[in-house]
């Protein structure tokens, strides 16, 4: 049986995004957006998985290490869980531009998640804050919600081919 999934971008959806060209490197720079707690709880109650998909090019640029990122993600998951918002998984791309097939908007992270969890992409939802997220959703046939400052500002459903 295929499962439904709430895919979430990280920066700008789960936490306040860093200023353009900067990176969230440590937990003390991480600012949880309160709305995401409700979104995750709601979708989990409806039987969805909750999976984060995040580009983390700062690793390729030497801004922080994979160990730093994993530590930050462990703290993020614990903070969300303490508020009743359970994440099932986190996928991240540590690569530079054009170095892989997993950097959004390319579909690598979605394909990994789909294989691991048996996800029905068309019955899922991707929440993101930018054009890379929208393009990823479009390419993978996933309905999409664009958010700004914790508010859904636009939604789109993939066209039937």
Confidence of residue 159 (pLDDT cuts 50, 70, 90): confident
Q: Which residues are part of the catalytic machinery?
A: 9, 11
Is the confidence at residue 55, as pLDDT, over 60? yes
pLDDT of residue 160: 58
Q: Around 61, how many Cα atoms within 13 Å sit in the side-chain half-sphere?
A: 11
Secondary structure of 74-97 in the HEC alphabet? HHHHHHHHHCCCCCCEEEEECCCC
CATH numbers and ranges of domains, the chain: 14-150 (3.40.50.1000)
Which range (40-44, 61-65, 128-132, 157-161) has the least confidence? 157-161
Tokens 């914790």 — which residue? 150
Q: Which are the contacts of 12, defined by CB distance < 8 A and separation ≥ 6?
A: 128, 129, 130, 147
Residue (of 6, 150, 13) closest to 76 by Cα position: 13
Confidence of residue 158 (pLDDT cuts 50, 70, 90): confident
**Tens-digit pLDDT profile for residues 60-76:** 999 999 999 999 999 99
């Amino acid at each position: 049986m295929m499962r439904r999934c709430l895919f979430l971008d990280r920066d700008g959806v789960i936490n306040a995004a860093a200023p353009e060209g900067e990176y969230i490197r440590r937990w003390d720079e991480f600012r949880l957006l309160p709305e995401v707690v409700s979104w995750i709880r709601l979708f989990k109650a409806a039987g969805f998985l909750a999976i984060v998909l995040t580009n983390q090019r700062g690793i390729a640029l030497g801004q922080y290490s994979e160990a730093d990122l994993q530590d930050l993600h462990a703290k993020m998951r614990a903070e969300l869980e303490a508020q009743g918002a359970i994440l099932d998984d986190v996928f991240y791309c540590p690569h530079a531009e054009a170095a892989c097939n997993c950097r959004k908007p390319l579909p690598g992270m979605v394909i990994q998640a789909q294989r691991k969890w048996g996800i029905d992409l068309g019955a899922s939802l991707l929440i993101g804050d930018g054009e890379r997220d929208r393009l990823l959703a479009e390419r993978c046939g996933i309905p999409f919600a664009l958010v700004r400052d914790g508010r859904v500002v636009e939604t789109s459903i993939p066209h039937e081919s």
